[in-house]
Structure 1
Amino acid sequence: MGIAGASCVLDVMVNDRSALVRDSAAFIAILEKIWKARDVDASLVWSELDERIRLADELRASGIRPYKGGRFRSTKLP
């Protein structure tokens, strides 16, 4: 998992979009294996992520810049 995550960071640093897509997919595949091993329903994780994105979009539409530690605090921010 650490290698997959580090690969994603490196891809961002060198601006290699195709490698970032490939390495991100590998990272997510590892996460899904961990979720399965711990009996976590992947659809719950994806729903949580969708909700965080929805909240961030709603805040932006209201003129609020969403970020953790700012004037609007939420654990739901991406």
Structure 2
Amino acid sequence: MTRPPPPPPADGRSGPPDARQAVEALWQALSRDAALAGPPGERDIHRLARAFGMHGEQCLVGLIADDKGQLIRESAHLLTCLMRIWAARDLSAGAVWTELDRRTQVGELLVMLNTASRRRAGRSPGRALGRPWKIQSTKLP
């Protein structure tokens, strides 16, 4: 069953908000709420973990069933649960974004190294080893 699209925003904007703005606003609200609530108890952590697992599972169900609406809704829930977990453990969202950026840069470096070695491989057919440091994978660490 498909839900109708949400009504347009009341502030006059047309279309969805920028992803960066939406995630930042969500993070600010969740981290503020976590700071006001104080340190989470064991029961709170178990609830967060259970909710994260449930919404992750529902994301997979939406993926397998090819239900884009469910995948979108559950992905939003999953991201919210994940950010609540970060806030509960006093993790900075910036630290996670920095780690993602680091992984992306390493992946791009590996692609660049592989591409450069392939281009130059035809120029030096007499070299026995070519590039002994050649990376065999571009998978992110």
Question: Mapping of 1:4-23 within 5 angstroms?
Answer: 4-23=55-74
Question: Mapping of 1:45-64 within 5 angstroms?
Answer: 45-63=96-114, 64=136
Q: Check if 1:37 corresponds to 2:37.
A: no
Q: Check if 1:66 corresponds to 2:138.
A: yes
Q: For residue 18 of structure 1, report the CA deviation from its aligned partner.
A: 3.6
> What SS class does the counterpart of residue 90 from structure 2 fall into?
coil
Q: CA separation in 1, counterparts of 2:105 and 2:70?
A: 27
Q: Which has the larger radius of gyration?
A: 2
1:56–1:11 Cα change, 3 Å: farther
1:13–1:52 Cα change, 3 Å: same
Q: For residue 53 of structure 1, report the CA deviation from its aligned partner.
A: 2.1
Q: For residue 15 of structure 1, report the CA deviation from its aligned partner.
A: 2.4
> What SS class does the counterpart of residue 49 from structure 1 fall into?
helix
Q: What is the number of equivalent residue pairs in this alignment?
A: 69
> What SS class does the counterpart of residue 59 from structure 2 fall into?
helix
TM-score when normalising by structure 2: 0.42
Per-residue CA shift, 1:28-55, capped at 9, x if unaligned? 1101111111110111112111221222
Q: Which runs of 5+ in 2 are unaligned?
A: 1-51, 115-135
Q: Which runs of 5+ in 1 are unaligned?
A: 68-75
Q: For residue 10 of structure 1, report the CA deviation from its aligned partner.
A: 1.4
The letter for the 2-side match of 1:44 is: A
Q: For residue 22 of structure 1, report the CA deviation from its aligned partner.
A: 2.4
> What SS class does the counterpart of residue 15 from structure 1 fall into?
coil
Q: CA separation in 2, counterparts of 1:57 and 1:19?
A: 32
RMSD (Å), alpha carbons: 2.0
Moved more, 32-41 or 53-62: 53-62
